[in-house]
Structure 1
Amino acid sequence: MSPDQTKRKLAAIFVADIAGYSQLMGADDEGTLARLKVLRSELIDPKNKRHHGRIVKTTGDGILIEFPSVVDAVRCAIELQQGMVERNADVSKDKRIEFRVGINLGDVIIEGRDLYGDGVNIAARLEALAEPGGICISQTVLNHARDKVPFDVEDAGEQTLKNIARPVHVYRIIINPGRRRPATPKPEVPTLALPDKPSVAVLPFTNMSGDPEQEFVSDGVAEDVITALSRYPSLFVIARNSSFTYKGRSVDVKQVGRELGVRYVLEGSVRKAGNRIRVTAQLIEAGTSNHVWAERYDRDLADIFAMQDELTEALTTALAPAIADAELRRAMRKPPGSLDAWAAYQRGLWHLSKATADDDEIAEKFFKQSIDLDSSFSGGYSALALYQLQAAALYQKQDMADAQRSAEALARRAVALDGADAEARSCLGWALQARGEADGALAEIERALSMSPNLAIAHGHRGATLIFTERPKEGLAALETCIRLDPRDPYLAVRLLHIACGLYFNGEYEASVKAAKRLIRSYPEFPMVYRWSAAALGQLGRITEAKEELDKAISRAPGAFDMYVHKRAPWFRPEDHAHLVEGLRKAGWKG
């Protein structure tokens, strides 16, 4: 609908919901629903009709009513709450049905029988500020009704309401003067120290649709993202109960960071339009208010639960690498002398991602520094273990048997320090794979994935292990999942190498050549790929190209050629080794 076609009007909006509805339903759902039905027929509907209200929509515990007059809306709210006081007089506290009411006068957008816009949103935010049995109104409502309806108010001051551009002056109507609250100074919230790993708070997503029925979608998405992020061992995630205390409020992310002790804050919104839903999200570094990442997702509402699962996966898949990238940039800004254990670990990963022999040696120094700075940080041991395996397997800088023993010991140390660390479990699995213990390796890696299903490094280790155990198709799928989950994986060069291997083992020689070229373009100094492209070209009968790649394989990485071709690495099956040698001989190798 174009701006010229949009229908608007000024309306008094009344929003109410039941305080503690979930608890009431949990204790006695049938009895609660029966009492609500009686309240609706005997109190709510008669009061609404008397004051000329139009019920726009109802939810399980809420109602949105439009009134042509602010006076009518206020009278209806006061009479409703006074009626509830009388009805609850002889009801035990745990069974009382108590409404919270918010009233606002504002401009609204008309769409069919529904209403949207700030006029509605402010009323909903006021309702959230009301006490059980109470009514919150805006300054505009007070100005129009104060001389026409007898009531007393308590000034709640200016309130910053979430996603409302300007502060709203809020007043509480006093239903029972004896319940007037004395003014008390707002206590100062102490600033919490940041954890020793990246920390994030996921704030409740704002329902921008103006439809209270969509509130469970916005809350559900935020809750699911909290659960999914909590499975990442490298993240410290604030629990729902704490982050949802900010629901319905417009907040300063710096304040959230101080109060919850987090470095990053995720906030977002949900908007419904027809059969589509749009979710926007942004990740902010709390200390600086800098935007780290932002994205928008549009989905169909055909299956709301499938849609919610899909949104959660998309959000968490994007968030974990975004936080890792932000942490890496933060660590790189620090001078080496001021690094803590986490920053040293991040610097090591950065050098490891360069996939060169020199950077590998620098990475080792940072991983050792991380352990020296904090001997209880399991990540330092895991990273050092992976470095040692890589130094032996890729660059022949260490004896393979010695590296395998040391890496396994380091990985077991990491697991001992934190048995719930999925990265440590995955690292142990990779150390076992290097020894040729495929069954034990897969058991540890699968255990890691049961703890953290979206852990990219575990998918990468699983993929490579499957490739070398006669399951190349499954292995390739796992490697693609790894890269999708973490496109900037520090071990990306190794992932691409394993994809070339898996395609070769699966007989997809043309695809293997393309995968090898992809690796060479991204990491021209990486020495390990040429024997695979030579073998694949040999199998394809492209002998001239195959001989060129074979020459590079022998001249650029003679140690690797000897380890993997003249000999056989512990994790290679004899059949796979023979398959590789067959392709190299077709390429012109005389060994």
Structure 2
Amino acid sequence: MDDRQTGAGKLRDTKAEEQARQAAADTPSATAAQNDPDGYTWKQSCPVFVDAVGYSTSVEKAPKETRKRLAKHFRNLGELVECNGGRIIDTAGDGMFAEFSSVASALEGMTTFQTSVLEANEELPVDHRMRFRCGVSFGNVLQEEHLISGPKVNIAARLQQMAEPGSINIDGEAHRQVSGSNIHRFIDMGFRVVKGMSDPVRVYRVAEGDEIIMEPSARLAASYDAKDGNDRDATSGEEGDHWFDNARGIAVLPFEVPPGSRMDKEEDAYMAMGMASDIADALSRSNWLKVISPRSSLNYSEATWADNEIARDLGVRYLLKGRIRSAGTMMRVSASLVECPTGTTVWSENYDRRDGNIFDIQDEITTLIVAMIEPEFLRHETERAADTRPRDMSSWDLLMRARWHFWRGSPRHVRSAMVCAEKALQLEPDSAQILALLSFCHMTQAWTGWAEDPEKQAAEALRLARLAVNRDDTNPNAHFTLGTALSLIGDVGPALAAERRALELNPNFASALGEIARLSALDDQPEAARRAALRAIALSPSDPHISLWVYSLALASFVEGDFAAAADFARESAAKRPDWFFHHHLLAASEALAGNPERARQAMAESERILPGYTMPALEAGVPFVRRRNFDKLVEGMRLAGWTG
């Protein structure tokens, strides 16, 4: 909402700022309205600000439709304000300013409004949905005719700006008014610096529905509760040192050659510099990372600069460092990824090689390092998003939290992933990465059988994947997602083409190789499947997707009729991700067809425990064999193991 058009703007002009400063110093403690000698009236009030997220972008894309939806929502909001004893002070553009006599009545109106918005959104495609954020405070305000002003109004306006799309933020005073109620759950967001206020403000967010509330680690909880408000993550962004706010920023430093090493000569220094430059160039192909130009980062030396100094100077969060050492005929290349604000080593590895063609060694090790960085980086970012008290979430933070929920794999977590991803999309509507994750959420609902209408979920997954490619056709992850979505409707040929395009865009994209392996097995090409799966595993041996690539090896053996080998690979994939039901399905079928009925029944029982009531349509979506005989053989094995779907 533009401050120049709204009540919030009117209250933050020069006169109002002066009133707020005076009120902060002179606010009386009386609980009833009092007359001020200057003609103002003091009273207790609950100011509320509501604002539509991403309204300007939506108007540009669909002006009539967006204005019509906003008008409908605001009519409903006006009625809810009136029904709950409140009054509207001002509306302008895409925002509303109101006040209530109590926090309980304000939250009743605002939570009902947010629920009605969610219900209206269910009928719309995810990229056409509207969300609102809300700020609520409580305390003494100055009233002059129709308007109210003072610090509490300023706080409510700032809390609205901090809120996630679809969320309600309240201050500590408002929380105290309703903390004994069982109607709402609250998430403590810690102390925040609010512009215009000398002291930090305690902020709480109203939990949404059955939202999973994640507790921060003890160390982080202690830092967020620092009442001086100086913790970087505890500020609103108005103050504090934010040199590492570029969460995706990574710089590759020149690899060190220790003094006195056999390699401590000019050509070896060129190799160390060249390897860092090659790694930076290769990492720049990833749409998840923002890689600082090698021309900037290669000017720094680990030996003469501290990590924090380099990161601060370059404006990044992560540094990739390396060292090259040699002894006799052996060479060791060490590499590590460091998160500078915490000093955490996210990943490290040593690569030992015998003397040989120096360029071949450089190319090989560069490829291995690059393949490891993206999955390790994403793993750390998702855990970081989950292990902190909820902050003022950016689209990146929301996307990382969505990924954390998605990889937990349960129905409730996947729903939470969709909520976080939809909020992220409101903040960054053209993000191919967010659209891709939402596509995978719909795919999951289809192939697990959780959805009442799997075909509808598959169609929406494909629409979102195509939209992701449309938004950024150079994004490898978008093409990877499109390939997976196409396989869900049985278009294995076009799916393979999409995965190969992803691999063209990023030759080190192990996940695309892994999906090529699965699709090749489904297309009755076991040798091609085996080659792709083994290459993916070699590229990224600790990747979170690795159980899927071992599963593809099992599928390749299955279509060849080698059910004993299929069972071995399926057992390995199930050991890596025992919570994924489809590993146990394939293990059960393979064991049954290999003549091991007891082990087959045990595997099927475990699958039923994880996901009871699995249906034939879900199986057809999840394992779309091109040749019907392969699918029929899978069903035969599963039925021998006790499946009744």
Between the aligned partners of 2:428 and 2:265, the Cα distance in structure 1 is 50
Between the aligned partners of 1:376 and 1:216, the Cα distance in structure 2 is 41
Between the aligned partners of 1:452 and 1:217, the Cα distance in structure 2 is 23
Deviations 1:471-492 (A, max 9, x none): 1232233234444544565555
Aligned position for 2:249: 199
Is the counterpart of residue 262 in structure 1 residue 312 in structure 2?
A: no
Cα separation, partners in 2 of 1:553 and 1:213, compared to 1, 3 Å: closer
Displacement after TM superposition at 1:496 (Å): 4.9
Amino acid at match of 1:544: E
Between the aligned partners of 1:572 and 1:360, the Cα distance in structure 2 is 29
**Most deviating of 334-343 and 481-490:** 481-490
- The counterpart of 1:575, out of the listed 608, 626, 629, is 629
Is the counterpart of residue 313 in structure 1 residue 363 in structure 2?
A: no
Displacement after TM superposition at 1:570 (Å): 5.1
Displacement after TM superposition at 1:446 (Å): 0.7
Is the counterpart of residue 363 in structure 1 residue 417 in structure 2?
A: yes
Aligned position for 2:429: 375
Displacement after TM superposition at 1:322 (Å): 2.7
Deviations 1:328-356 (A, max 9, x none): 23212333353221122222222222233
- Contact 1:472–1:505 (CA<8 Å) still a contact in 2? yes
Cα separation, partners in 2 of 1:552 and 1:297, compared to 1, 3 Å: closer
Cα separation, partners in 2 of 1:336 and 1:324, compared to 1, 3 Å: same
Q: Secondary structure at the match of 1:268?
A: strand
Percentage of pairs with the same residue? 29
Q: Secondary structure at the match of 2:580?
A: coil
Displacement after TM superposition at 1:385 (Å): 0.1
Amino acid at match of 1:439: G
**Structure 1, gaps ≥5 residues long:** 1-190
Amino acid at match of 2:531: A
Aligned position for 1:545: 599
Aligned position for 2:450: 396
Q: Secondary structure at the match of 2:299?
A: helix
Cα separation, partners in 2 of 1:351 and 1:207, compared to 1, 3 Å: same
- Contact 2:589–2:640 (CA<8 Å) still a contact in 1? yes
Give RMSD over aligned pairs. 3.0
Between the aligned partners of 2:314 and 2:242, the Cα distance in structure 1 is 6
Between the aligned partners of 1:334 and 1:273, the Cα distance in structure 2 is 44
Deviations 1:9-42 (A, max 9, x none): xxxxxxxxxxxxxxxxxxxxxxxxxxxxxxxxxx
- The counterpart of 1:511, out of the listed 565, 572, 595, is 565
Displacement after TM superposition at 1:228 (Å): 1.8
Aligned position for 2:334: 280
**Structure 2, gaps ≥5 residues long:** 1-240
Cα separation, partners in 2 of 1:563 and 1:220, compared to 1, 3 Å: same
Aligned position for 2:350: 296
Cα separation, partners in 2 of 1:297 and 1:532, compared to 1, 3 Å: closer
Amino acid at match of 2:374: A
Matched residue pairs, number?
A: 401
Q: What pairs up with 1:176-191 in 2 under 5 angstroms? A: none
Q: What pairs up with 1:160-175 in 2 under 5 angstroms? A: none
Q: Secondary structure at the match of 1:339?
A: coil
Displacement after TM superposition at 1:216 (Å): 1.8
Displacement after TM superposition at 1:199 (Å): 1.5
- Contact 1:565–1:577 (CA<8 Å) still a contact in 2? no
Between the aligned partners of 1:276 and 1:351, the Cα distance in structure 2 is 44
Q: Secondary structure at the match of 1:404?
A: helix
TM-score after normalising by structure 1: 0.61
Between the aligned partners of 2:582 and 2:342, the Cα distance in structure 1 is 42
Cα separation, partners in 2 of 1:300 and 1:552, compared to 1, 3 Å: closer
- Contact 1:378–1:424 (CA<8 Å) still a contact in 2? yes
Aligned position for 1:241: 295
Q: Secondary structure at the match of 1:278?
A: strand
**Most deviating of 553-562 and 369-378:** 553-562
Cα separation, partners in 2 of 1:502 and 1:395, compared to 1, 3 Å: farther
Cα separation, partners in 2 of 1:567 and 1:333, compared to 1, 3 Å: closer
- The counterpart of 2:508, out of the listed 445, 454, 477, is 454
Aligned position for 2:274: 220
Between the aligned partners of 1:541 and 1:488, the Cα distance in structure 2 is 33
Deviations 1:31-58 (A, max 9, x none): xxxxxxxxxxxxxxxxxxxxxxxxxxxx
- Contact 1:197–1:234 (CA<8 Å) still a contact in 2? no
Between the aligned partners of 2:624 and 2:319, the Cα distance in structure 1 is 46
Between the aligned partners of 1:566 and 1:274, the Cα distance in structure 2 is 57
Between the aligned partners of 1:507 and 1:269, the Cα distance in structure 2 is 48
Amino acid at match of 2:397: A
Between the aligned partners of 2:473 and 2:248, the Cα distance in structure 1 is 19
Displacement after TM superposition at 1:550 (Å): 4.7
Displacement after TM superposition at 1:394 (Å): 1.8
Between the aligned partners of 1:547 and 1:290, the Cα distance in structure 2 is 45
Displacement after TM superposition at 1:388 (Å): 0.6
Cα separation, partners in 2 of 1:364 and 1:572, compared to 1, 3 Å: farther
Aligned position for 2:499: 445
- Contact 1:353–1:491 (CA<8 Å) still a contact in 2? no
Q: Larger C-alpha radius of gyration, 1 or 2?
A: 1
- The counterpart of 2:582, out of the listed 487, 506, 528, is 528
Aligned position for 1:345: 399
Amino acid at match of 2:414: D
- Contact 2:399–2:420 (CA<8 Å) still a contact in 1? yes
TM-score after normalising by structure 2: 0.57
Amino acid at match of 1:397: A
Aligned position for 1:163: none
Deviations 1:439-463 (A, max 9, x none): 2111111111111111132122222
